[in-house]
A and B are shown apart, each in its own frame.
Chain A
Amino acid sequence: MSVFKVFDIAGSGMSAQMLRLNTIASNLANADTIATNENDVYQARHPIFETVMQAQGGNSDDVATVRVREIMQEQTMAIPQYRPNHPLANDEGFVFSPAIDSIAEMADMISASRSYQNNIEVLSTVKEMTLRTLQMGQG
């Protein structure tokens, strides 16, 4: 019964979106993390999604689920700030902060949460349909 596969499909979508939300949370939380060395600065992380086609035995119905292929780190230049009194300042008086675009991250967060909600809606609709199917002809 292919309706039960929907639970796997929507579940994989939810878990991928949740990982995306996690990376956004990391990026936002580290937006103000300062480092002495340019190379030690936090780099924004972004998940790359990928479709997994699972061939089903017997008939040719395949199931397309989602998974996170990898989490990419951005390679952006750190922003130097001249703060000679900062305890982490280097010899020249600079500290480095990550180039994280908080507004873009917030927009990405809204997009991820909408996609998550869509998957939940699919799940609850299918659950309702399945329960009704089980009660067919009763009462």
Chain B
Amino acid sequence: MPVNFNNAFGIHDDALLLFERRTQLLSENIANADTPNYKARDIDFNAVLQRAKNDSVKMRTTNKSHISLAQQAYSNDVQYREVQQSAADGNTVDTQKEKAAFAENAMRYQLSMNIMSRKIKGLKTAFRGE
């Protein structure tokens, strides 16, 4: 069975990039919870996942100075959150929701991390041939 290192981690190495970006966005929302006129931002995880599933054509980076498509794509996926209850000062952060989303995102991140960790362990065992 040929081992292909490009596919060894499945979607999880790409997913980590997305979770990282989301961690940043959600922490921005929490830090700006009391800032007038701040509009909460987030990435729709399911939409990105769906698109990744449908994308059959992938761009390859063959040079170090190429920018990976995945990293750029997430910037375009950043959207303003829909307002449930508007505040008088124009702020749209719902702290409770942001905290819940942050916790969920951290869990997903750790899940992907654990899976990648296990894959690495599996590969190591395969190399040793014990």
Residues of chain A whose beta carbon lies under 8 Å from any beta carbon of chain B: 1-3, 5-6, 9-10, 12-13, 16-17, 20, 48-51, 58-61, 63-66, 111-112, 114-115, 118-119, 121-122, 125-126, 129, 132-133, 136-137
Contact = CB atoms under 8 A, between A and B. Distances in A.
Residue of B30, B34, B95 with highest tally of chain A CB at under 10 A: B34
Interface of B: 20-21, 23-24, 26-28, 30-38, 41, 67, 71-72, 75, 95, 99, 102-103, 106, 109-110, 113, 116-117, 120-121, 124
B116 A136 contact: yes
B30 A64 contact: no
Contact of A9 (B31, B99, B117): B31
Contact of A137 (B32, B75, B120): B120
Contacts, number: 101
Contacts of B32: 13, 49, 51, 64, 66
A13 B23 CA distance: 15
Nearest to A60: B75
Contact of A59 (B23, B67, B113): B67
A13 B24 contact: no
Residue of B31, B67, B102 with highest tally of chain A CB at under 10 A: B31
Contacts of A122: 26-27, 30-31, 102
A61 B75 contact: yes
Given A59-B67, A118-B99, A129-B110, A6 B120 contact: no
Residue of B35, B36, B121 with highest tally of chain A CB at under 10 A: B35
